């Protein structure tokens, strides 16, 4: 059996949009939890029929499952095609995904450079050990006064969202569009009904406004912020 199979099954399960537990995935596919655990640890090998069921569940080929290290792939094929997002990212010497920081001087070009390997690779990068290893984060400077109590000049952390339909209305996100660049707003999700999001500020002086799905490049769910002053 391929050296990649065990780590790929664990990686796929932990990064699937529904993030099923071993117990839940085993029940859905008709396996025993102990059997799935043994596959993920490399202590056992699946039959060809079981491998086909796994590949079908994750919408991936058996060839990719056996021959590729899926954790290094930029495109995640188990996400439904209409929700598929390609993310350019960087890793450290231990092959752990970095948190890239987009400084103020680079913010103006982010809407054009977000998918450019050279642009992303030149961004400062760091690690935070208390953040989940199986999720992708990026840091952006906050500008303006539309989202109090955040103060202009603080740094906002975002968690990459692959499936935009999973965003619950009222969630605070960084939304990247061609026209506005990177904005921090409360997101109200009307993608299913109208193909758009409505973005709302916490500062009531700013009116809510719609953004069409085709105008959106990326969405990063708010995951925290850093500031040199205590919020008022």
Cα 16 off chain centre by: 11
Instruction: Report, at the CATH architecture level, how domain 5-78 is classified.
Output: Orthogonal Bundle (1.10)
Residue 82: pLDDT above 70?
no
Per cent of the chain over pLDDT 70 is 92
Query: How confident is the model over 176-198, as a mean pLDDT?
Result: 94
Average pLDDT, the chain: 87
Instruction: Please check the confidence at residue 83 and state whether its pLDDT lies above 60.
Output: no
Mean pLDDT computed over 35-53: 87
Q: Using CA atoms, how far apart are residues 115 and 121, in angstroms rounded to an integer?
A: 11
Average pLDDT for 135-148: 95
Residue 86 has a pLDDT of: 63
Return the domain boundaries, the chain.
5-78, 99-226
Question: At 17, is the pLDDT very low, low, confident or very high (cuts 50, 70, 90)?
Answer: low
Question: For position 50, what pLDDT does the model report?
Answer: 87
pTM of the model: 0.66
Query: Residues of 69-95 as b/e, b for ≥16 C-beta within 10 angstroms?
Result: ebbeeeebebbeeeeebebebeeeeee
Which CA distances in Å does 148 have to 17, 55, 162? 31, 46, 27
- The larger pLDDT score, comparing residue 107 to residue 64, is at 107
Interval 89-118 mean pLDDT? 90
Q: Which of 16-30, 76-90, 99-113 has the lowest mean pLDDT?
A: 76-90
Indicate the pLDDT class of residue 172, thresholds 50, 70 and 90: very high
pLDDT at site 56? 84
Does the structure show a pLDDT above 60 at 195? yes
Virtual torsion, Cα 158, 160, 163, 166, nearest 10 deg: -30
- CA–CA separation, 90 vs 187, rounded Å? 27
Average pLDDT over residues 46-71: 83
DSSP letter for 44, please: -
**Alpha-carbon span 131 to 77, nearest angstrom:** 24
Check residue 149 and give its pLDDT. Answer: 93
- Mean pLDDT to the nearest integer, 183-203: 95
Q: 3-class SS at 90?
A: coil
| CATH fourth-level superfamily of 99-226 | Umud Fragment, subunit A (2.10.109.10)
């Amino acid at each position: 059996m391929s050296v990649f199979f065990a780590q790929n099954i664990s990686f796929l399960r932990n990064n699937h949009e529904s993030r099923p537990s071993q117990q839940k995935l085993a029940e859905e596919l008709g396996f025993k939890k102990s059997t799935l655990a043994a596959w993920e640890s490399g202590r056992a090998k699946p039959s060809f029929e079981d491998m086909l069921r796994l590949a079908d569940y994750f919408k991936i080929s058996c060839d990719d499952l056996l021959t590729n290290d899926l954790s290094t792939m930029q495109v995640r094929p188990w996400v439904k095609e209409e929700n598929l997002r390609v993310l350019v990212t960087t890793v450290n010497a231990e092959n752990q995904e970095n948190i890239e920081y987009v400084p103020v001087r680079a913010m103006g070009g982010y809407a054009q450079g977000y998918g450019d390997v050279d642009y992303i690779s030149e961004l400062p990068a760091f690690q935070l050990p208390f953040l989940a290893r199986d999720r992708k984060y990026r840091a952006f400077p906050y500008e303006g006064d539309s989202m109090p109590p955040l103060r202009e000049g603080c740094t906002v952390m975002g968690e990459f969202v692959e499936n935009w339909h999973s965003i619950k209305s009222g969630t605070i996100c960084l939304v990247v569009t061609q026209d506005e660049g990177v904005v921090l707003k409360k997101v109200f999700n009307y993608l299913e009904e109208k193909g758009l999001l409505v973005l709302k500020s916490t500062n009531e002086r700013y009116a809510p406004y719609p953004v069409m799905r085709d105008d959106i490049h990326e969405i990063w769910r708010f995951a925290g912020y850093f500031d040199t002053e205590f919020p008022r």
